[in-house]
Amino acid sequence: MKIEHIGIAVADMELAIKTYEQLLQTPCYKKEQVASEGVETAFFQLADSKIELLEAMHEESPIAKFILKKGEGIHHIAFEVEDIIAEMKRLSALGYQILNEVPKKGADNKLVCFLHPKSAHGVLVELCQEIK
Ligand code: ZN
C-alpha cells in the first residue's frame, strides 16, 4: 500500500487548477468526469502519488453535499491496493464499514471502494486498484 492520491473538494475547478498548478509547479495532466458520482476530477502527478481535485457536477453530488457541510478541503485519502476484493473482505471482517459492496469504476482507470469516515477516525478512505 501507498498513498495513491489525496482528494480535495473544490468549489471552482478552473480556479483550483490554476492554484495547484502554481503550487505544485506541474500541469494538470488529466480531467475526467465520473458521472456515477456526479464529479468532475482533475489530476496532478507528484513523485509517487497524486492530487485529485473534485468538483460537483450537480447538487446531488456527494461533493456538493460535502462542500455545503464542511466547505472546501481534503475530502479523502486513497490507498493503492493489489487486490481490492481481498482488502474489502479483510476490512469488512474486522468491522470496518464499507460504503459500496462491490468495487466501482472510479476516475483514472481505477476500481475503487470507500470506507466510512467513522471507521477511520474521521477520514474518508478510498481503496483503489489499477485496472489492468
Ligand atoms: Zn479519489
pLDDT per residue rounded down to tens, the chain (132 residues): 899 999 999 999 999 999 999 999 999 999 999 988 899 999 999 999 999 999 999 999 999 999 999 999 999 999 999 999 999 999 999 999 999 999 999 888 999 999 999 999 999 999 999 998
Ligand 1 centroid to Cα of residue 126, in Å, is 6
- Residues 6+ away with beta carbon under 8 Å from 115: 91, 96, 97, 98, 99, 124, 125, 126, 127
Give pLDDT, residue 107.
Answer: 87
Overall pTM surpassing 0.85 (yes/no): yes
> What is the three-state SS of the chain?
CCEEEEEEECCCHHHHHHHHHHHHCCCCCEEEEEHHHCEEEEEEECCCCEEEEEEECCCCCHHHHHHHHHCCEEEEEEEECCCHHHHHHHHHHCCCCECCCCCEEECCCEEEEEECHHHHCCCCEEEEEECC
All three cell numbers of 93, joined, read 471482517
Q: Which residue's C-alpha cell is 459492496?
A: 101
Surrounding residues of ion ligand 1, Cβ less than 5 A:
7, 52, 78, 126
Ligand 1 centroid to Cα of residue 76, in Å, is 7
Give pLDDT, residue 36.
Answer: 85
